[in-house]
């Protein structure tokens, strides 16, 4: 369905922005704009989906959105060089051929942006309304917008078992007081990955089976969107009238409304990537402090945010990977289809030297692995990459440096 294709693209673009400092030099603004447009368009997709049964033009409109969402996702995938996509299944070779230079990707994004604007304009012509209007006409219940699905690809995950157990315990055991449990650590260390694992853990799913939601906050925190997203995931079925009212609610009203709904519940809400204390303050209004054993699980780069959210909970510091874990992740990322820690013997020494440069940061490892996975598994090819790394770093292990080098130089070499 077009709706989920757009949601998926919005999610991917969100991820890309997250890593913008490293990857999006030069095209950040364009990507940001593209994400906003796609997000806006999401609101209209429900109505379009309903109407496309009857109207050929609307059907066409929906398929155009779907295509553009896929294009957007492709361009972003290409640009950030995400590792999950680096595996053969998700990142076909055609993608690499497409990537001649960042300039080309920038142009591609601009073209997509123009397409999105055109499609958006044609909406009115086809009489496609926003989600609230559509519901009032159809007298239907507010259907759920697809939220960002927090699934983890288990086969690539290394470690995290102990961390998961500890965090699960924090969520399902202990005081009835509503607590905010935070995970802190630098970008790319694995906070979101760990949060997803915890969120999908059977003990957590069971304990919060009636009320569980995942919301992606990001640097560009928009509380109203976050509240809407949460509302879509919790048990609540508004009438047409109610849905219309909700549609018109401003941020604070929406927050109060969600607060009322959550008051009686034992809820778990994940707020992924909260950047600032102010953002937390705006979001916090929606979460009642009743003693129902409810939990908020935050991921953040800042200790301040964690302490602000709950001064009585000790922030959970996500650790860098150990040497053995780094190696395992590297083998899984660099060699497509490999889910072991075994690497061809002739590549082992070179691989180990390169992994060392990543200093245990999973993002650096998966980016490096993704890069190597696109090359032939020959010592000469790996040596080429290694020499470039070595020349750049001399003896240092600067993680930011490895990422920017990979993103900007090696990748396009
Ligand atoms: N334990 C792990 N095993 C495998 N891959 C991991 C692990 N932790 C993180 N990654 C990968 O590293 C990248 C960054 O992780 P992420 O959870 O997004 O970091 P953060 O949220 O802290 O910025 C992702 O591509 C993720 O899949
Ligand atoms: Mg994250």
Mutate to test the pocket of ligand 1, among 84, 193, 328 (most ligand atoms within 8 A of CB): 193
- CA gap 235, 12 in Å, rounded: 27
Give residue limits of the domains in the chain. 2-129, 154-317, 323-410
Percent with pLDDT over 70 in the chain: 59
Lowest mean pLDDT among 72-76, 284-288, 308-312: 72-76
User: What does the pLDDT read at residue 77?
Assistant: 57
> Greater confidence, 29 or 265?
265
> Among 164, 173, 177, 165, which residue's Cα sits nearest to residue 294?
177
- CA gap 357, 390 in Å, rounded: 9
Residue nearest to atom 13 of ligand 1 (CA): 363
Answer whether residue 246 shows pLDDT above 50.
yes
For ligand 2, the distance from its centroid to the CA atom of residue 112, given in whole angstroms, is 26
For ligand 1, the distance from its centroid to the CA atom of residue 403, given in whole angstroms, is 14
Architecture of domain 2-129: Up-down Bundle (1.20)
- Compute the mean pLDDT over every residue in the chain, rounded to the nearest whole number: 75
User: What does the pLDDT read at residue 131?
Assistant: 38
Fold for 154-317, please state it.
Rossmann fold (3.40.50)
The model's pLDDT over 207-239, given as tens digits with 9 standing for 90+, comes to 998 999 999 888 888 899 999 989 988 888 888
- For residue 90, CA distances in Å to 5, 22, 94, 135, 339 come to 16, 22, 11, 36, 15
Residue nearest to atom 9 of ligand 1 (CA): 190
- Ligand 1 and 326: CB distance under 6 A: no
Residue nearest to atom 17 of ligand 1 (CA): 190
For residue 295, what are the β-bridge partners? Answer: 179, 268
- Ligand 1 and 150: CB distance under 6 A: no
**Which atom of ligand 1 lies closest to the CA of 196?**
17
- Ligand 1 and 217: CB distance under 6 A: no
> Among 145, 114, 148, which residue's Cα sits nearest to residue 14?
148
Residue nearest to atom 5 of ligand 1 (CA): 157
For ligand 2, the distance from its centroid to the CA atom of residue 187, given in whole angstroms, is 7
Answer whether residue 148 shows pLDDT above 90.
no
The model's pLDDT over 90-140, given as tens digits with 9 standing for 90+, comes to 333 333 333 334 555 566 666 776 777 677 666 665 555 543 333 333 222
**Which atom of ligand 1 lies closest to the CA of 153?**
27
Percent with pLDDT over 90 in the chain: 36
For ligand 1, the distance from its centroid to the CA atom of residue 193, given in whole angstroms, is 5
Answer whether residue 20 shows pLDDT above 50.
no
The model's pLDDT over 346-372, given as tens digits with 9 standing for 90+, comes to 999 999 999 988 889 888 888 788 778
Answer whether residue 176 shows pLDDT above 60.
yes
The model's pLDDT over 177-198, given as tens digits with 9 standing for 90+, comes to 999 999 999 888 999 999 999 9
- Ligand 1 and 80: CB distance under 6 A: no
């Amino acid at each position: 369905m077009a709706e989920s294709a757009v949601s998926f693209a919005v999610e991917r673009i969100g991820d890309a922005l997250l890593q913008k400092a490293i990857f999006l030099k030069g095209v950040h603004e364009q990507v940001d704009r593209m994400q906003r447009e796609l997000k806006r368009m999401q609101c209209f997709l429900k109505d379009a989906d309903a109407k496309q049964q009857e109207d050929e033009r609307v059907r066409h409109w929906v398929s155009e959105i779907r295509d553009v969402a896929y294009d957007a996702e492709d361009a972003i995938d290409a640009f950030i060089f995400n590792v999950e996509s680096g595996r053969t299944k998700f990142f076909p070779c055609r993608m690499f051929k497409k990537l001649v230079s960042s300039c080309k990707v920038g142009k591609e994004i601009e073209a997509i942006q123009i397409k999105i604007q055109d499609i958006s304009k044609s909406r009115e012509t086809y009489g496609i309304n926003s989600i609230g209007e559509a519901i009032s006409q159809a007298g239907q219940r507010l259907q759920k917008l697809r939220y960002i699905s927090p699934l983890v690809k288990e086969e690539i995950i290394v470690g995290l078992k102990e961390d998961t157990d500890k965090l699960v315990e924090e969520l399902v055991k202990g005081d009835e007081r509503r607590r905010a449990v935070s995970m802190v650590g630098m970008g790319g260390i694995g906070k979101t990955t760990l949060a997803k694992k915890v969120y999908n853990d059977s003990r957590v799913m069971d304990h919060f089976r009636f009320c569980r939601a995942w919301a992606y906050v990001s640097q560009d925190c928009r509380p109203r969107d976050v509240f809407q997203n949460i509302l879509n995931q919790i048990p609540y079925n508004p009438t047409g009238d109610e849905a219309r009212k909700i549609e018109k609610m401003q941020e604070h009203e929406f927050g109060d409304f969600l607060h009322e709904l959550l008051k009686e519940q034992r809820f778990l809400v994940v707020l992924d990537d909260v950047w600032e204390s102010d953002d937390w303050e705006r979001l916090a209004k929606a979460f009642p402090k009743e003693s129902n054993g409810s939990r908020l699980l935050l991921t953040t780069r800042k200790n301040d945010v964690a302490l602000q959210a709950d001064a009585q909970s000790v922030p959970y510091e996500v650790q860098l990977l150990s040497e053995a874990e780094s190696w395992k992740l590297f083998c899984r990322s660099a060699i497509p289809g490999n889910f072991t820690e075994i690497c061809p013997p002739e590549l082992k020494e070179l691989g180990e030297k390169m992994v060392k440069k990543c200093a245990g940061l999973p993002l650096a490892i998966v980016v490096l692995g993704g890069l190597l996975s696109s090359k032939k598994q020959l010592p000469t090819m790996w040596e080429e990459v290694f020499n470039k790394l070595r020349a750049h770093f001399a003896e240092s292990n600067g993680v930011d440096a490895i990422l920017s080098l990979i993103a900007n130089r090696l990748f396009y070499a």
